[in-house]
Amino acid sequence: MKRPFDFIIEKLVFLSGIASIIFVILIFIFLIKEGLSLFSQVSVQSFLFGVNWYPISDPPQFGIVPLLLGSFFVTFGAIVIAVPMGLAAAIYISEFAPRWFANVLKTGIELLAAIPSIVLGFIGIVTLAPFLKTVFRLPSGLTALAGSIMLAFMAMPTIVSIIEDAIVSTPKSYKEGSLALGATRWQTVYRVIIPAASSGILAAIMLGIGRVIGETMAVLMITGNAAVIPTSFLQPVRTLTATIAAEMGEAVAGSGHYYALFAIGIVLFIISFIINLLADMFLHRNGQGKKKR
Amino acid sequence: MDARQKEKIASLILHLITIIIVTPVVLIFVLVLVRGLPALTPEFLFAMPRDGMRAGGIFPAIVGTIYLTLGTALFSIPLGILAAIYLNEYAQRNWLTRVVELAIINLAGVPSIVYGLFGLGLFVTFLQFGASILAGSLTLAIMTLPVIITATREALSVVPRSFREVSFSLGASRWQTVRHVVLPNAIPGIITGAILGLSRAAGETAPILFTVAAFYLPRLPRSVYDQAMTLPYHIYVLSTQVPNVSVKVQYGTVLVLVGMVFIMNILASWLRARLRKRKTW
């Protein structure tokens, strides 16, 4: 007894429902379509393991090792800073802070998430870079360290909110049991709550890495943009994302350089795909734990 | 040291770390406000840029950002709402639904610059829209889709099951139930999510670099096939590409973008608060 209008609209609803799948596939197809053309000019090995990124020299060299290392340096630094601090903040907000103060802190962290990355990049150039320059007596403050600090800050909202969710969703009985046995709140946090929330913490780390490795504009502006193999955090570096953003404007459509930037896009897409699957796996494991309650 | 003292010290350290995270947020706002406010003259807001963007106004960038945000809304909101209706009201718990959910998670995680490449490959080059408002809006719309789907789904899922059951028992079809019972009750939540998603899109730079952004275009866009200046890209240009731009112009532009994003965020929070108060179920 379906009316024809219902039939059409329900088909439309279904199509919109699966549109996300179509878009993921389309993104992959268009990256592959342009990116794979590179490998008629250079080999996959010389792309993935080449140590020189000289896209406009003659002959050009498209080795992404310096860029991979740049991304790795900046991401590693950011995660080392952001995870312990984010964990601390999440614990403080959910277990120690008075209610009103917790709300103030949460609003502050939400505000941070709303600031566009280009604005943080600008703020980084005018405040963080000069600060690091003076402190470490560098020729320029635009370094891997500046990028790491900035990205740690930008990953904070993701990390804090996911860990906080994980802490809040640990069964109340665990906490009450521990307190009833005479443990202090701090003992309860690190002996009971953190182990119980470990899946959520892992998911937060994965999503934090995803957020950091994909960040483009702030990194482009404050890491100094030198596509060389980094040996120290006080050197300028160039990440995968920043390379695409900085060079696509000058790359001639259809040139090796143009294809190479799309090939970097494939690398980024695959990295983010794996990270998100892992994060989802951890979150899912957490969800199953909840059902057992 | 006994356990009580340890707890006091731990609590203090956690407190300090949290303050270290939140204080810079406040400082950033104060800095942008104090340095940016003196720049906000009517000329700055409503005039074309002059002297290689070192003077004059940022009107075309403001208009460009508004056009792009509206374009993004036009594509992403209907599609996002329908997709959420599918997931929450129609879909069975099966492999297809799981794949859709994974696809949404992945869309949310794709780096913004990769959206830029995708927009360049599909909309600008393959569909031959050129670098244009149309190509930029479509790229931003796909990027915003996961936010809108997730928010809408949440808004739909808090409408009580009994509402639907009553509607079905009165002989309404599934679509009639969605259209007349579920959607009206979920609308405020959907609008809140949509505004938050769009405020993200308005501040994005990487996806629009190759799909729409014009370095310097001292006129308003004439059609959807036109390039446009935008606030985020203008900030990038002013802080890295043009030498000797006055601090006032830089902070002024930053303040306008931050202001726009925040007005949208405050609107969304206000709607959410109002919705919570009104909800009787």
pTM for this model (two decimals): 0.92
Going by pLDDT thresholds of 50, 70 and 90, the confidence category of residue A286 is: low
Q: Do B6 and A184 touch (CB under 8 A)?
A: yes
Going by pLDDT thresholds of 50, 70 and 90, the confidence category of residue A17 is: very high
Q: Judge whether A252 is closer than 8 Å to chain B, CB to CB.
A: no
By percentage, how much of chain A surpasses pLDDT 90? Answer: 69
By percentage, how much of chain B surpasses pLDDT 90? Answer: 73
Q: Which residues of A touch B121 (CB under 8 A)?
A: 30-31, 33-34, 262
Cα within 13 Å of Cα(B185), Cβ side = 19
Going by pLDDT thresholds of 50, 70 and 90, the confidence category of residue A227 is: confident
Q: Which residues of A touch B254 (CB under 8 A)?
A: 119, 122
Does position A14 have pLDDT exceeding 50, yes or no?
yes
Contact A206, A275 (CB under 8 A): yes
Mean pLDDT of B43-64: 89
Please tell me the distance in Å from B42's CA to the nearest CA on chain A. Answer: 22
Does position A293 have pLDDT exceeding 50, yes or no?
no
Q: Which residues of B touch A249 (CB under 8 A)?
A: 209-210
pLDDT digits (tens, 9 = 90+) for A160-173: 999 999 999 888 89
Q: Which residues of A touch B106 (CB under 8 A)?
A: 24, 272-273, 276-277
Residues 35-54 of A with CB under 8 A from B: none
Q: A232 or A29: whose pLDDT is higher?
A: A29
pLDDT digits (tens, 9 = 90+) for B152-201: 999 999 999 999 999 999 988 889 999 999 999 898 889 999 999 999 99
Q: Judge whether A236 is closer than 8 Å to chain B, CB to CB.
A: no
Q: Which residues of A touch B79 (CB under 8 A)?
A: 16, 19
Q: Do B121 and A24 touch (CB under 8 A)?
A: no
3-state DSSP assignment of residue A52: coil
Mean pLDDT of A72-81: 95
3-state DSSP assignment of residue B219: coil
Please tell me the distance in Å from B104's CA to the nearest CA on chain A. Answer: 6
Q: Do A10 and B10 touch (CB under 8 A)?
A: no
Residues 6+ apart with CB under 8 A from B88: B153, B156, B157
Residues 92-111 of B with CB under 8 A from A: 96, 99-100, 102-111
What's B162-197 look like in SS3? HHHHHHHHCCCCHHHHHHHHHHHHHHHHHHHHHHHH
Q: Which of A1, A125, A276 sits opposite B109 (nearest CB)?
A: A276
Q: Which of A3, A92, A116 sits opposite B257 (nearest CB)?
A: A116
Does position A285 have pLDDT exceeding 80, yes or no?
no
Please tell me the distance in Å from B110's CA to the nearest CA on chain A. Answer: 6
The pLDDT, as a whole number, for residue A229 is: 87
Q: Do B17 and A31 touch (CB under 8 A)?
A: no
Indicate the range of A213-227, A272-286, B110-124, B154-168 predicted with least confidence.
A272-286
Mean pLDDT of B22-37: 94
Q: What is the ipTM of this complex?
A: 0.91
Going by pLDDT thresholds of 50, 70 and 90, the confidence category of residue B280 is: low
Mean pLDDT of A92-97: 92
Residues 168-197 of A with CB under 8 A from B: 183-187, 189
Going by pLDDT thresholds of 50, 70 and 90, the confidence category of residue B281 is: low
Per the omega criterion (within 30 degrees of 0), is the bond before A59 cis?
yes
Does position B211 have pLDDT exceeding 60, yes or no?
yes
Q: Which of B14, B202, B205 sits opposite A92 (nearest CB)?
A: B14
Q: Do A17 and B173 touch (CB under 8 A)?
A: no
Q: Could you tell me where the DSSP H helices lie in chain A?
A: 4-35, 44-48, 65-91, 99-114, 117-123, 129-136, 144-168, 172-180, 185-188, 194-196, 198-214, 217-222, 240-247, 256-291
Mean pLDDT of A63-76: 94
Q: Which residues of B touch A16 (CB under 8 A)?
A: 79, 82-83, 85-86
pLDDT digits (tens, 9 = 90+) for B96-139: 999 999 999 999 999 999 999 999 999 999 999 999 999 999 99
Q: Which amino acid is at A84?
A: P
Q: Do B87 and A14 touch (CB under 8 A)?
A: no
Indicate the range of A45-54, A107-116, A198-207, B52-61 predicted with least confidence.
B52-61
Q: Where are the beta strands (DSSP E) in chain B?
A: 49-50, 55-56
Exposed/middle/buried for residue B86 (C-beta within 10 Å: 0-12, 13-18, 19+): buried
Average pLDDT, chain B: 91
Q: Do B83 and A16 touch (CB under 8 A)?
A: yes
Going by pLDDT thresholds of 50, 70 and 90, the confidence category of residue A292 is: very low
- Burial code (b: 16+ CB inside 10 Å, e: under 16) for B189-213 equals bbbbbbbbbbbbbbbbbbbbbbbbb
The pLDDT, as a whole number, for residue A237 is: 93
Mean pLDDT of A58-66: 90
Question: Which backbone phi and psi does A61 adopt, to 5 degrees?
Answer: -125, 130
The pLDDT, as a whole number, for residue A80 is: 95
Cα within 13 Å of Cα(A37), Cβ side = 15
Please tell me the distance in Å from A291's CA to the nearest CA on chain B. Answer: 17
Mean pLDDT of A233-256: 91
Q: Which residues of A touch B99 (CB under 8 A)?
A: 21
Q: Judge whether B207 is closer than 8 Å to chain A, CB to CB.
A: no
CA A36 vs. chain centroid, Å, equals 25
The pLDDT, as a whole number, for residue A290 is: 44
Question: Which backbone phi and psi does A224 adopt, to 5 degrees?
Answer: 90, -15
Please tell me the distance in Å from A116's CA to the nearest CA on chain B. Answer: 5
Q: Which residues of A touch B239 (CB under 8 A)?
A: 121-122, 125, 221
Mean pLDDT of A199-211: 92
By percentage, how much of chain B surpasses pLDDT 70? Answer: 99
Q: Which residues of A touch B247 (CB under 8 A)?
A: 126
Q: Which residues of A touch B118 (CB under 8 A)?
A: 26-27, 30-31, 265
Going by pLDDT thresholds of 50, 70 and 90, the confidence category of residue A3 is: confident
Residues 6+ apart with CB under 8 A from B14: A88, A89, A91, A92, A96
Average pLDDT, chain A: 90
Contact A180, A239 (CB under 8 A): no
